[in-house]
Amino acid sequence: ISGADKSFSLCYFFLAALGHDMPTNGTTTKGISIYEFLIGFLSLVLAVLFILHGFSLTADIKPNTVAPSSSEFEKCFDGDKSDHLVDNDIRVVLMVIDAWRMSFLSDSDSPMTFLRQSIISGQAIAFTANAQTPTVTMPRMKALTSGVVPSLITLLGNFFASENTEDSWVTSASSTGRRIAFFGDDTWIRLFPNAFIEAEGVTSFFVNDYTEVDNNVTRHLDIVLNKPTWDVLILHYLGLDHIGHSLGGESPQLKKKLREMDDIAKRIYDVASARSPLLLVVVGDHGMTSGGSHGGGSDAETKVPMLFLHSKAKIIQGGNIEGLMTAEQVDLASTLPFFLHVPIPSGSIGLTLLPQFASQWQISDSTLFSAAFQSAVHFSRFTDGTSIVALSDVHGDERCKIAKTFVAHARGRLAMEENRKAQQKVIQSQEQALRWPIFVSLAFIALSFILFSGAYQPFISGGIESWITGDSSELPLYSVYLVFALYHLSSYSTSLIEEEHDIWYYITPTVILYQIFIIAEFSTNLEILLKMFYSNSRFRNGFVLLCLHRWAMSFTSHTRRRWSMRQDLLPPPIFPEFRFNILVLDSLTTDLNLTAFAKWMPSTTTIVCVGYLLMRIRPKNFFSGVMTFTCVLSGAICMQSYLNDSKRWLITYFIIGGVLITLLSSVPLGAMLYLSYLVRPEALPLLIISFEMGFYARKLSSSPYLFAFLCQTVFFYAGQSSNISSIDIAAGYKGLSSYNMLLVGFQILVNFYAMPLSFSLGYFNNRTDRPVDTDNDRHGMQVLASVLQLRSLMLFSAITSMICLSGHLFTFSVLAPKMICEILHLMFSLVVTSFLSLLYITINRAKTGKWWPQSSRF
């Protein structure tokens, strides 16, 4: 490890060394009362509600000031020759390619030959458009049609889209008699239910299908393109996005799909332009990471192509694919209305792109004036300027002189740059402005943190006594709070947020190693340490836990963001510090890549891992009929790797039913079998390692904080990050032949949190099968309290960093996605806590006949 890494690790170790042990034997613990737990829990629920409300508030928009109409200046351009770009008979086709990132068009080996050639020839003008976070489909649709910067809360609306109440060019065009036809993602139909004269939607969430979902759109083209019954045609193709989710962002299928999209664009242009003037707009709603996902703020997710292809354009010069002009995605909502002869949507913060068109196409002064004037009048509502209003006071020849000066200025680069600066200020003022509900939520989060801390107040007062007695069964409390403080400080560094997994990769072994030193009474005598290794099981369990952690973190360390730019600097996948320069040994340490092996032989990996689970997790009646059925179930899970997609559904229902039956015999085994069925084969070894880490963590220490820290650590093993783009959407469709919102959402979340769930099952293994035990119940509730306390700290840190760094360059590419993830983590933790608390109350009722335990404290 580098010197900086060593310093970082030693810093954590030094802070941990300042701690004192928590008393257990001989010390009476007060614990946390039920009422403190409930108030803390409800405080977090209220905090989440206030956060969601705060992000749902929209910025106030000033009403349009009285300004002259562009028609008052028409006589100033009487001698101007028409360019036919905005003739009344023009038809517009908007082709949205879901997850069409910029590199899919700009790379030299891109298969999109028609679009690339159109750009080079000048027939098409292309932009590198910037999409704001969150980079998911429904918010991007609103940006394209209404020109607004969607709030972070619209991320949830991506799954529950309803009619759009904001002004948009779609509703304006429909209300003025423009005939709009639509085919593609059915989210459009839910957003604009009354706007289309003809429409057919396809399910946008069934990501395993990337062929039929596009064929169902394309099959309408032969009829629609030759019919004069539409003025605007909107097509939304989902196949590219589905390939990314199901096969990854580097799949060979991507080029086939890109070639298909290019052929469709050529077909639309050739057929439709032969009948009437045509403006074809091809745009991506968002991009795609190398892993195939999206939602965050990286360039791969936010930079998308926006291409305009006009059949009547007179070309001045060709374009350069290597140096495309830049634009904001919201600019489309302020550009298309000019071609449709409708007003710009009232909330749009986009700018018209007509002045930039003039660099490659011949555009008359009258056309450019009308477009720029419309945009300027609209945009004036977001500024304090009065120059547009002042034009109404100008009369006669002076007015025409000013109008022509305005056109000359609009064509210039300086005007474009100044307009962009003004636009960026407006975007920054509207992008997630933190309003009063956010600050109220901070108060609730702080309250919950304090209440959950009350569970360990006795340990603070007994810290000195515990240090003297040398009890080592608990994690030092002061070190825990120092780690809390250090984590909070790290949340103000965007680099540390992007590499958050490294923080936890250092916290965990530091805490475990210090626990081992306490057990060894800080002895440095090798002979004593060796004897203790053989005689003290807790000492030995600590070393096993360290080895498992080191092994698990190596699985995805070489895939992290820091290596994306310099592949030649990649470390070996496993244990680079143990290179022996002996072929056999190196093949088992530095050169071994279990992730690649699991992808290469998924069936073998599944069989080995499921077989290990059967041998490792044995319920009380191992040889009972239920266990025999479990073996058959395990065989079914292994067999599903051999079946193709058309037959795999036959065994899915058997697996799900078998898991439910197995849960009656052994909760850990049934749950682990379901996780083994759900996760990708390359994650199966990590699932087993996480389970074993939970088992050994409980043997090492009963500290609730150690559980919370390790839960956070194992979350990153499978490659997850503080970004919603690391969510594997394809896992939600495992075994499904159609879209079921509840089941898909459940499977996505379970897969996302598979490693912490596996760790928890290992931690409580052989306790979930036992009768109700008061001590175990108390420890379980303390574990929940420590997890919620950690979650409250992390969300508090994420929000305060957003507030303090509101003007930072990476506020909405790093800090905002981090905050979204923390909200999601907390919501998931609250749901799990609710379920387990209800289960605890129900069991206590069955055992004692009372809803509440006899003791009011845990």
pLDDT value at residue 182: 94
pLDDT tens profile 670-720: 888 889 888 888 889 999 999 999 999 988 877 888 899 999 999 999 888
| DSSP H/E element including 442 | helix 436-453
pLDDT tens profile 159-179: 555 667 788 999 999 999 999
CA distance 740 to 834: 24
**Cβ-based neighbours of 357, under 8 Å, separated by 6 or more:** 125, 308, 363
Of residues 12 and 338, more confidently modeled: 338
At 494, the pLDDT band (50, 70, 90 cuts) reads confident
Which position has the token pair 């050169």? Answer: 591
pLDDT value at residue 641: 57
DSSP 813: I
Of residues 248 and 505, more confidently modeled: 505
**Average pLDDT of the segment spanning 296-305:** 86
CA distance 285 to 150: 13
CA distance 686 to 692: 10
pLDDT value at residue 263: 95
CA distance 354 to 810: 30
Is the pLDDT at 846 greater than 60, yes or no? Answer: yes
**Average pLDDT of the segment spanning 256-269:** 95
CA distance 352 to 360: 15
Which position has the token pair 């080029």? Answer: 255
CA distance 675 to 718: 13
pLDDT value at residue 381: 76
At 640, the pLDDT band (50, 70, 90 cuts) reads low
- Which is nearest to 378 in space by CA: 87, 62, 139? 62
pLDDT value at residue 690: 94
**Average pLDDT of the segment spanning 727-753:** 81
Query: Is the alpha carbon torsion for 610, 612, 615, 618 positive or negative?
Result: negative
pLDDT value at residue 3: 40
Give the percent of the chain with pLDDT over 70.
73
pLDDT value at residue 598: 72
At 353, the pLDDT band (50, 70, 90 cuts) reads very high
Q: Lowest-pLDDT range, 99-103, 535-539, 752-756?
A: 535-539
Most confident of 240-249, 460-469, 749-758: 749-758
**Do you find a cis peptide bond into 668, omega within 30 degrees of 0?**
no
Domain boundaries, the chain: 58-79+90-413, 548-770
Most confident of 289-298, 614-623, 734-743: 289-298
- Which is nearest to 285 in space by CA: 94, 17, 545? 94
Is the pLDDT at 42 greater than 90, yes or no? Answer: yes
Rounded to whole angstroms, what are the CA distances from 45 to 132, 409, 437, 438, 686?
28, 54, 13, 13, 32
Most confident of 140-154, 388-402, 634-648: 140-154
pLDDT value at residue 634: 66
Is the pLDDT at 569 greater than 60, yes or no? Answer: no
At 379, the pLDDT band (50, 70, 90 cuts) reads confident
pLDDT value at residue 561: 63
Give the pairing of strands 303-310 and 124-130: antiparallel
CA distance 562 to 612: 34
CA 854 centroid distance within chain? 44
CATH of domain 58-79+90-413: 3.40.720.10
Mean pLDDT of the chain: 79
CA distance 603 to 185: 35
Indicate the pTM of the whole model.
0.78
| DSSP H/E element including 328 | strand 325-328
Rama region for 756: left / alpha / beta (φ>0; ψ in -120 to 50; rest): alpha
pLDDT tens profile 499-508: 898 899 998 8
Of residues 763 and 294, more confidently modeled: 763
**Average pLDDT of the segment spanning 527-536:** 74
